[in-house]
Amino acid sequence: MFIQNIGDVTGQGVIFQGVPRGTIDTITFTIGLAPGVKTVDLNNLTIAYADAVRTEILIPVEGYRGNPPPGDWGIITVVNELGYPNMRLDYEEQFVIRINPKAAVVPNQVITISVKPREGKPMVIRRVAPSTIFEKDNIL
C-alpha cells in the first residue's frame, strides 16, 4: 500500500425538518504516504463509495481541486504542499479529500470508501455513521 489515512474521517451533517437524527452529505478524510514510500502519482486516482444499498465510483472535480457536487470527489486542500499544485503526493504532503456520494448517509449506516492509486493496493476506510448526526463535523 502506498497511501494511508491520516487522522479522523468526518462527515458534514444536514438537519432537515422531518428527518430525525439528520444525515451526512459529504465525507472528508486526509491521505498521506505510507511508511517508507517517497512519492506517489495520484493521477487517475479512483475513489469508490459503498453502503448497504449502493456502490458508486465517484468522479473527480475538474482539475481535481475543489468542493465536489453530488457524485464527485475533490481535493479541498494540500497540507505541506511542495512546489506547484499537482497530483503527486510527496514526502510529508497530505491531501485533504472530500467526497459527496449521491445519496446521503443516515445514522448508524456502515460505509466503505476505497481509494485506489494507479499502482498498488487500494486504501480502504470502513466506518459507521453516528446514531445522531449534527450539522458540523461528525467523526465517523
pTM here is: 0.93
Let me know: does 112 contact 56? Beta carbons within 8 Å: no
Lowest-pLDDT range, 15-19, 79-83, 102-106? 15-19
Q: Cell numbers of 107, please?
A: 445514522
For residues 16 and 23, the answer to whether their CB atoms sit within 8 Å is yes
Which residues are CB-contacts of 42 (< 8 A; sequence separation ≥ 6)?
87, 88, 89, 95, 117, 118
Give the Cα separation of 9 and 126 in Å (integer): 10
Please choose, from the candidates 140, 136, 107, the residue with its C-alpha nearest in 3D space to the C-alpha of residue 126: 140
pLDDT (tens digit per residue) in 11-33:
998 766 555 678 899 999 999 99
Mean of per-residue pLDDT scores for the chain: 92
